Structure 1
Amino acid sequence: MPAASELRPGMTVALEGNLFRVIEAVYHSGTAQQKGVVHAKLRNLRTGVVVDRRFRPEERVEEVALERRVMEYLYNDGEMFYFMDPETYDQVPVPAAMIGDLEVFLQPNQRIPVEFHEGRPVAVAFPETVDLRVVHTSQPLRERESHVYKPAILENGLEVLVPQFIAEGDIVRINVYTRAYVDRVGKRGA
């Protein structure tokens, strides 16, 4: 069991009967009069709720190893999202709370890693960025101006702000978690 001072983003730990993914962990060393402390931001894998937690640096935490399998997204019925193992054709239901507002980034037949703990799905591992086509935006004003932004609607229905040089049909890279424009990865017609 690692000490709290060894927590790193991406680790999965068990606390009070729940599994948490470490989003951020910052160690603050102490002074002569005050002991050090680790401030951690943790996401509950079952509910998706993010909590802040403080640990003593020497406090032990239980790290949990998750099994990761690439699954194919099939459909959702409002309460559950259904994924299929492409090798065994077994279907696995995942609660909607586990997906949360990232649902907009799921496309039918998309292959995505699903993490399991003791045979049960506990998380869907979305990539940090996705590439999507711009389906509607105003005409580009300048080819290289990138400090002025305009709204654009992407193929999945998401509206984001993009630089002025982006045109309809361009493929843009979007950060899944912040929903912010990252880069243009393809021009229309290219």
Structure 2
Amino acid sequence: MIGVQDLRKGTTFIDDDGNLYKVLDFQHVKQGRGNATIKTKLRNIRTGSTIDKNFQSGGRVQDVRLEHQTVQYLYN
């Protein structure tokens, strides 16, 4: 698990609902007396849809390590 304050562009994670997301953009916003908020723009890897989501400082998400392989299909 990683803290939401550690999210960066390209980070992939699973949210509480089990959706797999990739961070496209993030912004750390600190209000005067309130808690910090992390505003993110996320792409759902399974569906390809893009959403904006805000996280409260101190929250945690499950990080995911993806491996990319180049493959070649041979047909007869």
- So what's the TM-score if we normalise by structure 1? 0.37
The equivalent residue for 1:183 is: none
**1:11 alignment partner in structure 2:** 11
Structure 1: 5+ residue runs without aligned partners? 73-83, 90-190
Q: Give the superposition deviation at 1:31.
A: 1.4
Count of aligned positions = 73
User: What is the alpha-carbon distance in structure 2 between the residues aligned to residue 8 and residue 43 of structure 1?
Assistant: 13
User: Given residue 3 of structure 1, which amino acid in structure 2 is its aligned partner?
Assistant: G
Residue in 1 that maps onto 2:58:
58
Q: What does 1:81-160 correspond to in 2, within 5 Å? A: 84=73
What letter corresponds to residue 61 of structure 1 in structure 2? V
Q: In structure 1, how many angstroms separate the alpha carbons of the residues matched to 2:56 and 2:27?
A: 12
Shift of 1:57: 1.6
What is the alpha-carbon distance in structure 1 between the residues aligned to residue 35 and residue 30 of structure 2?
A: 7
Structure 2: where are the runs of 5+ without partners?
none
Residues 73-111 of structure 1: CA distance to partner in whole angstroms, max 9, x if unpaired?
Answer: xxxxxxxxxxx3xxxx5xxxxxxxxxxxxxxxxxxxxxx
Q: Distance in 2 between matches of 1:30 and 1:6?
A: 19
Question: Which portions of structure 1, spanning 4 or more consecutive aligned residues, are displaced by more than 3 angstroms?
Answer: none
**1:22 is aligned to 2:9:** no
1:48 aligns with 2:20: no
Q: TM-score, normalised by structure 2?
A: 0.86
How many percent of aligned residue pairs carry the same amino acid? 32
Code of the aligned partner of 2:25: E
Q: Distance in 2 between matches of 1:41 and 1:10?
A: 11
Bigger relative contact order, structure 1 or 2, given CA contacts below 8 A and separation 6+?
Answer: 2
Larger Rg: 1
Q: Is the CA contact 1:29–1:36 (under 8 Å) kept in the aligned structure 2?
A: yes
